[in-house]
Every structure is written in structure tokens, then in C-alpha cells.
Amino acid sequence: MGFKKLLASLGAGGASVETVLTEDNVVPGGVVRGEVRIEGGSVDQQIEGLTIGLQARVEVESGDQEVKQDIDFVEQRLGGAFEVKAGAVHVVPFGLEIPWETPVTSIAGQQLRGMNIGVTTQLEIARAVDSGDLDPVHVHPLPAQQAILDAFIQLGFRFKSADMERGHIRGTRQRLPFYQEIEFFPPQQYRGLNQVELTFVADDREMDVVLEMDKKPGLFSEGSDSYKAFKVGHHDFASTDWAAYLNQWLADVGGRRNWF
């Protein structure tokens, strides 16, 4: 995986660059590994800097509509200036740490539609920056996240969609400028629901789990009990029956509102 292109800022005879990810399947808190290969052209050339990073395509509210925006949320400089000799190959290995908050892009081996996260590469030369294509990264759930996802499936919920939205969820440990929402269709027994939205906001010890019910029109008015946030530790999550926990919350809200 990677890109290979002539550096636009170098003109004829310029070097070509290829970024190769040797490991693109990771979990939040993990490391993406790879190397940047710079192949010299017909002349020696001075590279002022090489930077890699992570980029996500998120939804941003603009007036009364939403637009897509590419947000760089990790940046790592790989060494200082160096020279690429004509015809020579310069290889720079890297390990890029994935923030704990990074959204999940793949569940049970299936890519979530609309989740675009990848590694970017930028070369600085002649006071210009030349950017490469995005190399996709597949971010799989942490064990604690998988347990929550499995609980929804066990209760009969079905994946609807997922997206990343620019903004901040109040009361969470969120540090990134965006967050993910994973949406589920409910099974028949929760007939008052249109969907449930799930968000994970993790750090190296635990994570905030944020749930929000989306009602069907006319069934109940907005209320605080249609929103729930709780903490789950990365090492003690297995002590809870999450299917029973989620079902109890749904039953409590549904019972008070008399819609299932």
C-alpha cells in the first residue's frame, strides 16, 4: 500500500516517493509501522524535512448543511534535512503511534463505510511542501470496545452506519477535535426506537461510553434519560454482562415512557 509520484516541486528529473505500511491493522493506542522510500532522480537533491501523520475525513456543520473536511490529528517529523543522491534510494522507517481516541474503522473484519483514516506523508523541499496520497489504516476495536459492540449484536441490533463529526462531547475525556458515532438499528422488541448512537472516547486506562437514543417521531419528548454515559476500564470490562446492562437501560427508559 502506498503512493508513488514525482515530486511536483522538483520538476523534470526529480525524485519519486513511496510510502509503504508494513502493518496497517492496529487498535487505538497501537503503532502503525512502515517506511518512506525516496528514489533519487537524475540529479542530487536536498530534502529539508520529512513528516508523516494521521488524517481523518470528518463531517463539519456549515450553515444548514454538513460538509466533509480532512483533519490532520497526528504529526511526526522523521529526522532533519538530508540529501538524496541521483539514482540512490533513501529509506526512512517509522512507527506512528495511534491515539487512544482514534475512531474504529473496521469491525469483525468488515470496513465501516464512511470511515476514512490514513497516514499522510509530506516532503519539504525548496521551501515548498509536497503531499502524497492517503494510505488507509484499519483501526480495530479494543477488547473493551468489542465487548460493548458484541452486546448490541447479542440484543439483536444491526449496524446502520458510522461517521466522524467535528466537535466535542461535554463531560468526556475527549482531546481530539472530532468524535465517532456508530449507529444501530434496533430489533423489534424496542419498537419505540429509531436508532441508538454509540461513541467511545478512550485513554490508556479506560474509556467513556456515550449512548443516545433516537426516538421515532411522536413517541416521546426529549429527555435526559435518552442519553447515557458511563466509564469502562480496559482491564475489568469482562466482569460485566454488557448485554444485560444495556437491556436494563433500554427497559428502564422504555418503561417510563411506555413505548415498549
Rg, Å, the chain Cα set:
22
d(CA 151, CA 111) in angstroms, rounded, equals 19
37 and 150: one domain?
no
Query: pTM, whole model, 2 decimals?
Result: 0.86
- Three cell numbers written together for 165: 463529526
Residue range(s) defining the domain that contains residue 11: 4-139
pLDDT at residue 191 tops 90 = no
Distances (CA, A) of 101 to 7, 24, 232: 33, 17, 14
Split at pLDDT 50, 70, 90, the class of 223 is very low
27 and 84: one domain?
yes
152 and 215: one domain?
yes
State the pLDDT at residue 210: 96
152 and 133: one domain?
no
User: Of 99, 74, 66, 97, whose CA–CA distance to 167 is shortest?
Assistant: 66
Split at pLDDT 50, 70, 90, the class of 218 is very low
User: Of 233, 250, 78, whose CA–CA distance to 154 is shortest?
Assistant: 250
Listed residues 139, 162, 181: the one ending a domain? 139
Domain count, the chain: 2
